């Protein structure tokens, strides 16, 4: 039975209301992000990302061949390779190997300490979590012992890892002390773990690990760790089992080194981890008369269980294929704002974080991921830091198409598809707007009522696409755009039939609805004249970049006429500085980078330069998150999560000392303004265009632009 939305919502609320969890998440994730940034100061991230992506995609193209080569090389070194089509087959294989190992151990009379039942030690492995291996082996009568400190804490609290590389990031040292029965100091916790696990390492009959890489040309697996437990787990027991997905197979040592350059930096902020283990088959020696002996100090058996479990289906899908290049660094989770707000137990299933939202439907079914999927704001922070540039936001949207949608979202999308109906409802609701949690205020007078079909006395035409949000909720931005263009000498057009670019539907997973809205807008604007300028950066990106993915008809001529208002205004002021009054100087402005402007459109220096040309001093916001929390319909679906992100944003703005914050995205501005009002904070929230318009020198005259 799939989890109900109500039950999932209670879990989300519980996470938001847990002060210890909030402290652990914000402290842990901001710390990792800071260390990552420092680690990449000594290495070119962009160059490393491009090289690694190229290598990983090339490996995918040759995957069947590489798996065959890996098998041949490992077996030549004395190892055994098993191929598992799904999780059940992998569990059966591992269970049988463990059973055989225990039988052989007992029949040989070899002592394994004081253990009354077979002990299996484990290194942190998300593949084993994917298989839900621990309860399976325990049901067979085995004692399974996680040896990674974080995994051990998770095991003893009977929960699941909440992060790909930091499994216990949701726990504080007080939680760990309660689990281990020690003082709440890091030293005491580590000492207890070290002492309690030493005997388990000695007693273990089987050691189980994952693999960060499996090198085809040598038959070698590579483990990247920090604690030293991997060495003990893979060398002390007589049998070593490594379980990993087919996606971990790489062609060469050079490919493995390319991963090593990016994995520690991206995951933990280290230039290199404490340990990198290269294991090729079981322990062996030829020191006695050059006669090969297996199982000298280390394992006498080494098994690799290579897992499909939906990966070949992913490899065959052009949309999801890139997800198989993932190196499991967890950087996407570290950068994800909602993940920091609610944690990995809510933001995912077994695999959590943005990559977890992509993998889970293939490994465990869409019903395990569709509710966590709705926690994604589509801020693109995950792709920005991904060391192999996986298009995670697009892949998450693709899964969202087949997931469950809230009744509130369904109702909104149903109305939005009918502009006349939406117009009537919005006008009627305007006096009462803002009362619904997460809902913005609706303007009593939309921009379309203020705009004539044609205005201005210039010869050069310009068309305004306000966007549905600016038209209905932030008309001041469109008024400012009109004022700037009019002062610069443009003749303005505003086709009254315009409505929505389709982004609201597409971000909710309704691609056909998004395509229909896009096509309607294109038809309305097709006969307009001049550049089409919009004050909504998100809508500019949706129309010019995203719409083809939804199945929308592409009109290249129309698309080439679209301009985002930031670059448009910047080019105006760069060429005509006289448009700005000489006396309008000095006000400090905190600038908020909207997710789409920064990460999709690459607008970083441009809005700052625009404000400086208009006479303002821009102050950077020391943000701990990467998003204000608006996320389109996200703020309607999860108003409390959206509000948590907005609170972080307001806290960061307060540190600047500014009383004005600006951005070029109407959704962000509306969301931040609402959060400030709710907290009675005296903060002006303005579109960049509004601030530029306030410093215009209307005496400069209307000169027809070139």
Among the candidates 296, 313, 330, a domain finishes at 313
Q: How far is Cα 378 from Cα 667, in angstroms, rounded to an integer?
A: 13
Do 600 and 558 fall within a single domain? no
Among the candidates 573, 594, 621, a domain finishes at 573
Tokens 């095991």 identify what position? 155
Give the residue numbers spanning the domain of 32. Answer: 5-313
CA distances from 113 to 118, 204, 661, 691 (A): 11, 9, 66, 75
pLDDT score for 441: 87
Do 565 and 587 fall within a single domain? no
CATH code, domain with 691: 1.20.1050.140
Judge whether 368 lies within some domain: no
Q: How far is Cα 673 from Cα 413, in angstroms, rounded to an integer?
A: 24
Q: Is 198 helix (H, G, I), strand (E, B) or coil?
A: helix
pLDDT score for 633: 87
Q: How far is Cα 85 from Cα 245, in angstroms, rounded to an integer?
A: 10
Do 584 and 513 fall within a single domain? no
Judge whether 395 lies within some domain: no
Do 419 and 308 fall within a single domain? no
pLDDT score for 706: 38
How many CA atoms does the CB half-sphere of 9 hold within 13 Å? 8
pLDDT score for 603: 96
CATH code, domain with 182: 3.40.50.10420
For 255-332, list the strands marked E by DSSP: 275-279, 284-285, 293-294, 301-307
* Contact (CB, 8 A) for 70 and 216: yes
Which residues in the chain come in under a pLDDT of 50?
703-706
pLDDT tens-digit readout, 476-535: 999 999 999 999 999 999 999 999 999 999 999 999 999 999 999 999 999 999 999 999
Judge whether 398 lies within some domain: no
Judge whether 184 lies within some domain: yes
pTM tops 0.85, yes or no? yes
Q: How far is Cα 546 from Cα 600, in angstroms, rounded to an integer?
A: 10
Q: How far is Cα 66 from Cα 324, in angstroms, rounded to an integer?
A: 15
Judge whether 350 lies within some domain: no
Q: Is 474 helix (H, G, I), strand (E, B) or coil?
A: coil
Q: Residue 532 pairs with which residues in a beta bridge?
A: 463, 562
Among the candidates 549, 573, 597, a domain finishes at 573
pLDDT score for 636: 87
Judge whether 705 lies within some domain: no
Do 170 and 293 fall within a single domain? yes
Judge whether 394 lies within some domain: no
pLDDT score for 701: 54
Do 556 and 592 fall within a single domain? no
Do 564 and 674 fall within a single domain? no
Judge whether 477 lies within some domain: yes
Do 609 and 483 fall within a single domain? no
Q: How far is Cα 481 from Cα 611, in angstroms, rounded to an integer?
A: 14
Do 210 and 237 fall within a single domain? yes
Do 615 and 532 fall within a single domain? no
Tokens 């389709």 identify what position? 502
Number of structural domains found in the chain:
3
Do 416 and 481 fall within a single domain? yes
Do 566 and 681 fall within a single domain? no
Q: How far is Cα 485 from Cα 471, in angstroms, rounded to an integer?
A: 17
């Amino acid at each position: 039975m799939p989890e109900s939305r109500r039950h999932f919502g209670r879990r989300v609320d519980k996470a938001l209301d847990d002060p210890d969890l909030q402290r652990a998440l914000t402290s842990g994730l901001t710390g990792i992000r800071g260390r990552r940034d420092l680690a990449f100061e000594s290495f070119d991230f962009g160059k490393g990302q491009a090289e690694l992506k190229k290598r990983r995609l090339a490996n995918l193209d040759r995957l069947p061949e590489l798996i065959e080569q890996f098998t041949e090389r490992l077996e030549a070194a004395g190892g055994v390779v098993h191929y598992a089509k799904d999780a059940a087959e992998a569990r059966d294989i591992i269970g049988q190997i463990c059973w055989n190992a225990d039988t052989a151990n007992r029949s040989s009379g070899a002592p394994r300490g004081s253990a009354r039942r077979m002990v299996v030690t484990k290194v942190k492995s998300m593949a084993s979590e994917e298989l839900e291996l621990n309860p399976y082996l325990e049901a067979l009568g085995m004692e399974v012992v996680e040896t990674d400190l974080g995994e051990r804490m998770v095991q003893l609290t009977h929960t699941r890892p909440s992060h790909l590389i930091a499994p216990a990031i949701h726990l504080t040292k007080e939680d760990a002390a309660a689990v281990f029965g020690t003082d709440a100091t890091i030293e005491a916790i580590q000492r207890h773990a070290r002492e309690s696990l030493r005997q388990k390492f000695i007693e273990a009959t089987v050691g189980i690990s994952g693999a960060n890489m499996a090198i085809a040309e040598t038959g070698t697996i590579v483990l990247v760790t920090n604690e030293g437990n991997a060495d003990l787990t893979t060398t002390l027991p007589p049998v070593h089992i490594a379980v990993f997905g087919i996606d971990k197979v790489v062609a060469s040592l050079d490919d493995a080194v390319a991963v090593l350059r990016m994995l520690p930096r991206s995951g933990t902020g280290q230039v290199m981890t404490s340990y990198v283990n290269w294991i090729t088959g079981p322990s062996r020696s030829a020191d006695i008369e050059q006669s090969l002996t297996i199982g000298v100090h280390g394992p006498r058996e080494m098994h690799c269980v290579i897992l499909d479990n939906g990966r070949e289906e992913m490899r065959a899908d052009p949309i999801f294929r890139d997800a198989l290049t993932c190196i499991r660094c967890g950087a996407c989770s570290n950068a994800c704002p909602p993940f920091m707000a609610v944690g990995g137990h809510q933001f995912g299933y077994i695999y959590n974080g943005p990559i977890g939202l992509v993998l889970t439907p293939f490994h465990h079914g869409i019903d395990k991921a569709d509710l966590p999927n709705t926690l994604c704001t589509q801020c693109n922070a995950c792709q920005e830091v991904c060391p192999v540039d996986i298009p995670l936001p697009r892949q998450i949207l693709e899964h969202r198409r087949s997931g469950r949608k809230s009744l509130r979202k369904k109702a909104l999308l149903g109305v939005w598809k009918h502009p006349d109906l939406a117009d009537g409802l919005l006008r009627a609701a305007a006096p009462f707007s803002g009362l619904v949690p997460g809902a913005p205020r609706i303007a009593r007078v939309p921009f379309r009522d203020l705009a004539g079909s044609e205005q201005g006395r210039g010869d050069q035409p310009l068309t305004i696409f306000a966007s549905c949000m600016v038209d209905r909720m932030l008309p001041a931005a469109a008024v400012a755009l009109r004022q700037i263009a009019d002062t610069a000498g443009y003749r303005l057009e505003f086709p009254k039939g315009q409505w929505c670019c389709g982004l609201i539907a597409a971000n909710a997973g309704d691609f056909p609805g998004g395509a229909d809205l896009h096509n309607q807008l294109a038809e309305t604007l097709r006969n307009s004249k001049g550049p089409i300028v919009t004050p909504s950066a998100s809508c500019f990106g949706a129309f010019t970049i995203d719409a083809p993915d939804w199945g929308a008809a592409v009109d290249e001529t129309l698309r080439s006429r679209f301009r985002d208002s930031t670059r448009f205004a910047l080019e105006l002021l760069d060429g005509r500085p006289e448009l700005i009054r000489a006396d309008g100087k000095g006000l400090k402005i905190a600038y908020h980078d909207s997710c789409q402007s920064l990460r999709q459109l690459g607008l970083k220096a441009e809005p700052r330069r625009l404000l400086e040309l208009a006479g303002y001093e821009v102050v950077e916001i020391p943000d701990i998150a990467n998003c204000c929390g608006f996320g389109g319909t996200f703020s309607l679906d999860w108003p409390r999560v959206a509000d948590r992100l907005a609170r972080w944003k307001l806290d960061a703005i307060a540190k600047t000392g500014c009383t004005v914050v600006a951005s070029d995205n109407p959704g962000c501005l509306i969301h931040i303004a609402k959060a400030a009002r709710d907290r009675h904070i005296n903060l002006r929230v303005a579109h960049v265009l509004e601030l530029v318009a306030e410093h215009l020198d209307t005496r400069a005259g209307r000169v027809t632009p070139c």
